[in-house]
Amino acid sequence: MSTLRNDYFLKALQRQSTPYTPVWIMRQAGRYLPEYRATRQKAGDFLNLCKNPNLATEVTLQPLDRYPLLDASILFSDILTIPDAMGLGLYFELGEGPKFERPLREEADIQKLNIPDVGKDLKYVTDAVSQIKQALQGRVPLIGFSGSPWTLATYMVEGQGGTDFLTIKKMAYSRPDLLHHILKTMTEAVTQYLHAQIEAGVDTIMIFDSWGGALSHQGYLEFSLPYMKVILSNLKMLTQKKIPSIIFTKGGGLWLEDQLTAGSDALGLDWQTDISAAKKRVGNHVVLQGNLDPAILLSKPEAIEKEVKRILDGFGHGSGHIFNLGHGITEHTPPEHVDVMLRKVRDYSQQFHTT
């Protein structure tokens, strides 16, 4: 940490005092930025962009160059690198989310599922981490990440994301043994993957449980949360480095108390979860990260400022809040609206950090 010129994000994760509320943006290197679209065009397609450490480094740094008020960077990569390395045939169709050519549904395929060789099949990711760290020159910390086992499994079984999840839920309730086998395998793979990112130099790790909120409470406690917990506790044994962690179950605002048991340093909040109510519920146990509705950034400066203020007021005084959106920034966001948000966070939050 001594090599970082701005370590407020890491300090906030440890509930140490900072002069203002640090901020970063989920999917901050993304299609709303013209410079990102240019690099992506150069790459040919999205997967090439992810798999080329030079280009991944380039787009990771783009938002930092444009927005000096950002307090963290996040590895540019796809959430589905692991199942891709497992041979499921990841592909992207224009204007649609990721899909798999060979969804994982047959018992025989599930039984022979092998974790990828992270050092070989996912070397492009750790190479990108090393290169980004070097390029950052200590400007801000770098966040590494993975999908949660449940979220990766939904993509793998459904063959795509954001559906009604009927295929994987049918498996969950008809053949829980099969699903748990997938989840255990993914837990091992995610652990190795995040461990490799840590060894390559990331300063924080974040687990995105994008589809955890599609489960019932009971289902979440059986199929998603415990596997994130195992990853975090195994990582603590695997590495001497004290790397803070964040878990984010989108749609999981009802289950914050349960999420405390995962042992992460911070919880992500979607925009449905009122941050003031969330703070009361989790007390001093974890840091909260979030939670502006990304749609607000499509509106107008006064509305953006009002909503930023509302969230900062909602959290109130003291450390333990990292400002962010409640979900990834949308591609339709005018880049200048991001400036409005960042400036308001910086200006308005300082009053909450006086000692």
Q: Smallest distance from the beta carbon of 219 to its own copies, in angstroms?
A: 7
Stretches 4-12, 27-35, 140-148, 290-298: which one binds its own copies (CB under 8 A)? 290-298
Phi and psi (nearest 5°) for 64? Answer: -70, -35
Omega of the bond prior to 6 within 30 degrees of 0, cis? no
Q: Smallest distance from the beta carbon of 297 to its own copies, in angstroms?
A: 9
Instruction: Using alpha carbons only, give the angle 188, 111, 193 rounded to the nearest 5 degrees.
Output: 20
129 touches 197 (CB < 8 A): yes
Q: How many CA atoms lie within 13 A of 331 on its CB side?
A: 8
Query: Please, which residues bridge with residue 245 across strands?
Result: 205
Instruction: Give the x/- contact pattern for its own copies in 264-283, rule: CB under 8 A.
Output: -------xxxx--x------
133 vs 344, beta carbon nearer its own copies: 344
Token pair belonging to 110 = 């599930």
328 in contact with its own copies (CB under 8 A):
no
165 in contact with its own copies (CB under 8 A):
yes
- What's the chain's length in residues? 355
Residues between 194 and 253 that touch its own copies (CB under 8 A): 213, 215-219, 251, 253
149 touches 227 (CB < 8 A): yes
Q: Is 40 assigned a catalytic role?
A: yes
Residue found by looking up tokens 């030079």 in the block: 54
Alpha-carbon gap, residue 160 to 132, rounded angstroms: 29
- Active-site annotation holder among 27, 36, 71, 265: 27
Which residue of 295, 335, 346, 352 would you call a contact of its own copies, by CB under 8 A?
295
**Who's near 149: CB < 8 A, 6+ residues apart?**
182, 183, 186, 187, 190, 224, 227, 228, 231
Instruction: Give the x/- contact pattern for its own copies in 298-327, rule: CB under 8 A.
Output: xxx--x---x--x---------------x-
Q: Smallest distance from the beta carbon of 41 to its own copies, in angstroms?
A: 24
Query: Please, which residues bridge with residue 91 across strands?
Result: 99
Q: Are strands 98-100 and 90-92 parallel, antiparallel or unpaired?
A: antiparallel
Q: Is 27 assigned a catalytic role?
A: yes
Stretches 55-63, 120-128, 139-147, 167-175: which one binds its own copies (CB under 8 A)? 167-175
Q: Smallest distance from the beta carbon of 216 to its own copies, in angstroms?
A: 5
Amino acid at 26: M
Q: Is 20 assigned a catalytic role?
A: no
Instruction: Using alpha carbons only, give the angle 183, 186, 191 rounded to the nearest 5 degrees.
Output: 125
Q: Is 78 assigned a catalytic role?
A: yes
Which residue of 330, 346, 350, 352 would you call a contact of its own copies, by CB under 8 A?
330
The residues binding its own copies (CB under 8 A) are 164-166, 169-170, 172-174, 213, 215-219, 251, 253-254, 271-274, 277, 293, 295-296, 298-300, 303, 307, 310, 326, 330, 332
Supply the residues annotated as catalytic. Answer: 27, 31, 40, 78, 155
